[in-house]
């Protein structure tokens, strides 16, 4: 192994106890989207202590950090998200959430600790940096419209050539990392639908316009979006997760309200699907004499990892951690606001395995028993550092 890899791994070991301590502090004090005040203060304090230039209050609770290398060059951004979820923790860990109803059940505590660990290591490797490393600590990944677009608006990507970010994965062993070229995560839009008819007696439907029967047709009709309008080799999903209407067995109500989610793996099909959602709902409703109100609340876009940077990052992982610790990451229909950064600059979003079956660490994210094998933090820190150093060297060639 070359010298730089050894130095990165040794420095990662050195900062590891502090990274664990930071992760536990953040874990015990979770804050929800756009409320990450204490977390942001801890981030800023830790960065300053490491000698990193800091900008606070970006997009409300976001923090930007910057390390300029000895040589001038391009800028690579490393991103961490800081928010927790509205879940009551049930892990019983000594550092479990002290904030009732809030929990770091998506590993953003680990992401933030990894970002800080990477900053501490990179601060000691300034001489190896050809350019600048920008640290993005963003608020609100969990809640639409997400913190990423606001960070971008506030200039987080100004001058940035590439960006790298990671997310914990409960389905892979601690210390492994997974990469996926191209579209990895879905766009997620919310559907708010009202089908309006004319109410009346359940025994005299001929004098009414029944929105319930029409709703049943609409729900089934919407499934043809996937079965008839989507290329069988492509991916998409539509789910109506909530139906509300009526209150008595013998009364046909005035209206029924539906709420659902629409997910796609391509920008083009997403736009087409929006058009079809309107056509299907309005067409079915009108044929029954109902009125339809369709509102599509735009969520995160499709997350697309750029080809060259994903191949580069996977090669880096093989060199730093060994090929046996690198896996092919699966595509997911979940959404992630890192997608906004990747719409602007090339880069990759990769998976960090955190499972430890022997220790019973297997719970999935967004579960009240979710936790991580903390030894995985080392792979996260070392990878982010290595991507920044190698990436900048590659850009200055």
Q: For residues 104 and 325, which CB has a smaller minimum distance to Ni ion in the complex?
A: 104
CA nearest to 350, candidates 392, 393, 321: 321
DSSP result, 323-378: GGGEEEPPPBS---THHHHHHHS-EEEEEEEEEBGGGTB-PPTTSTT----TTHHH
Q: For residues 106 and 156, which CB has a smaller minimum distance to Ni ion in the complex?
A: 106
- Chain residues 334-353 in contact with Ni ion, contact rule CB under 5 A: none
Give the residue nearest to Ni ion (CB): 106
In whole angstroms, how close is the CB of 106 to Ni ion at the nearest point?
3
Give the whole-angstrom CA distance, residue 89 versus residue 365: 12
Size of site (CB under 5 A) for Ni ion: 1
Give the whole-angstrom CA distance, residue 166 versus residue 81: 10
Choice among 164, 300, 341, 350 that is catalytic: 300
186 binds Ni ion (CB under 5 A): no
Give the whole-angstrom CA distance, residue 366 versus residue 359: 19
Segment lying near Ni ion (by CB under 5 A), choices 16-24, 83-91, 104-112, 374-382: 104-112
Q: For residues 15 and 106, which CB has a smaller minimum distance to Ni ion in the complex?
A: 106
In whole angstroms, how close is the CB of 142 to Ni ion at the nearest point?
7
In whole angstroms, how close is the CB of 81 to Ni ion at the nearest point?
6
Q: How far is CA 106 from the centre of its chain?
A: 9
Give the whole-angstrom CA distance, residue 45 versus residue 163: 23
Give the whole-angstrom CA distance, residue 63 versus residue 45: 11
Give the whole-angstrom CA distance, residue 69 versus residue 377: 24
Q: For residues 104 and 378, which CB has a smaller minimum distance to Ni ion in the complex?
A: 104
Q: For residues 245 and 334, which CB has a smaller minimum distance to Ni ion in the complex?
A: 334
Give the whole-angstrom CA distance, residue 200 versus residue 205: 7
Q: For residues 68 and 143, which CB has a smaller minimum distance to Ni ion in the complex?
A: 143
CA nearest to 46, candidates 133, 126, 119: 119
Mark residues 188-227: x for contact with Ni ion by CB under 5 A, - for none: ----------------------------------------
Give the whole-angstrom CA distance, residue 188 versus residue 144: 10
CA distances from 4 to 9, 118, 122, 185 (A): 9, 14, 12, 33
Segment lying near Ni ion (by CB under 5 A), choices 6-14, 98-106, 157-165, 232-240: 98-106
In whole angstroms, how close is the CB of 205 to Ni ion at the nearest point?
47
Pick from 67, 87, 105, 106 the residue near Ni ion by CB under 5 A: 106
What are phi and psi for residue 248, nearest 5 degrees? Answer: -145, 155
Q: For residues 106 and 381, which CB has a smaller minimum distance to Ni ion in the complex?
A: 106
In whole angstroms, how close is the CB of 336 to Ni ion at the nearest point?
7
First to last CA, the chain: 22
Q: Is 300 an active-site residue?
A: yes
Q: Is 374 an active-site residue?
A: yes
How do 62-68 and 130-138 pair as beta strands? antiparallel
In whole angstroms, how close is the CB of 167 to Ni ion at the nearest point?
6
Choice among 31, 36, 142, 374 that is catalytic: 374
Q: For binding to Ni ion (CB under 5 A), which residues are involved?
A: 106
Catalytic residue numbers read: 300, 374
């Amino acid at each position: 192994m070359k010298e730089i890899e050894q130095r990165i791994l040794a420095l990662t070991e050195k900062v590891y106890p502090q990274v664990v301590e930071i992760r536990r502090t953040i874990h015990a004090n979770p804050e929800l989207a756009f409320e990450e005040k204490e977390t942001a203060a801890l981030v800023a304090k830790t960065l300053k202590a490491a000698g990193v230039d800091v900008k606070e209050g970006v997009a409300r609770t976001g923090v930007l950090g910057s390390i300029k290398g000895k040589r001038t060059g391009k800028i690579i951004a490393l991103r961490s998200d800081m928010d927790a979820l509205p879940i009551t923790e049930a892990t019983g860990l000594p550092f479990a959430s002290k904030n009732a109803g809030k929990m770091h059940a998506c590993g953003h505590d680990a992401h933030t600790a990894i970002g800080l660990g990477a900053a501490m290591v990179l601060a000691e490797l300034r001489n190896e940096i050809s350019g600048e490393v920008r640290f993005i600590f963003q608020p609100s990944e969990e809640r639409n419209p997400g913190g990423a677009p606001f960070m971008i608006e506030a200039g987080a990507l100004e001058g940035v050539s590439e960006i790298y970010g990671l997310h914990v994965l409960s389905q892979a062993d601690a210390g492994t990392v997974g990469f996926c070229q191209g579209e990895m995560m879905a766009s997620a839009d919310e559907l708010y639908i009202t089908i309006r008819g004319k109410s009346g007696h359940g025994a005299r439907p001929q004098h009414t316009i029944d929105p319930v029967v029409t709703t049943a047709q609409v729900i089934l009709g919407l499934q043809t979006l996937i079965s008839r309008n989507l290329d069988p080799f492509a991916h998409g999903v539509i789910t109506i997760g909530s139906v509300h209407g009526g209150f008595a067995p013998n009364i046909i109500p005035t209206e029924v309200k539906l709420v659902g989610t629409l997910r796609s793996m391509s920008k083009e099909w997403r736009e087409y699907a929006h058009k079809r959602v309107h056509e299907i709902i309005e067409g079915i409703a009108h044929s029954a004499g109902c009125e339809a109100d369709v509102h599509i609340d735009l969520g995160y876009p499709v997350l697309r990892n750029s080809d060259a940077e994903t191949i580069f990052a996977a090669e880096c992982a093989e060199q730093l951690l060994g090929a046996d610790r690198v896996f092919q990451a699966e595509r997911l229909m979940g959404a992630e606001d890192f997608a906004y950064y990747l719409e602007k600059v090339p880069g990759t979003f990769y998976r960090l395995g955190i499972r430890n079956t022997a220790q019973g660490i297997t719970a999935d994210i967004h579960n009240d028993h979710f936790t991580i094998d903390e030894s995985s933090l080392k792979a996260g820190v070392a990878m982010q550092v290595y991507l920044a150093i190698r990436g900048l060297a590659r850009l200055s060639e």
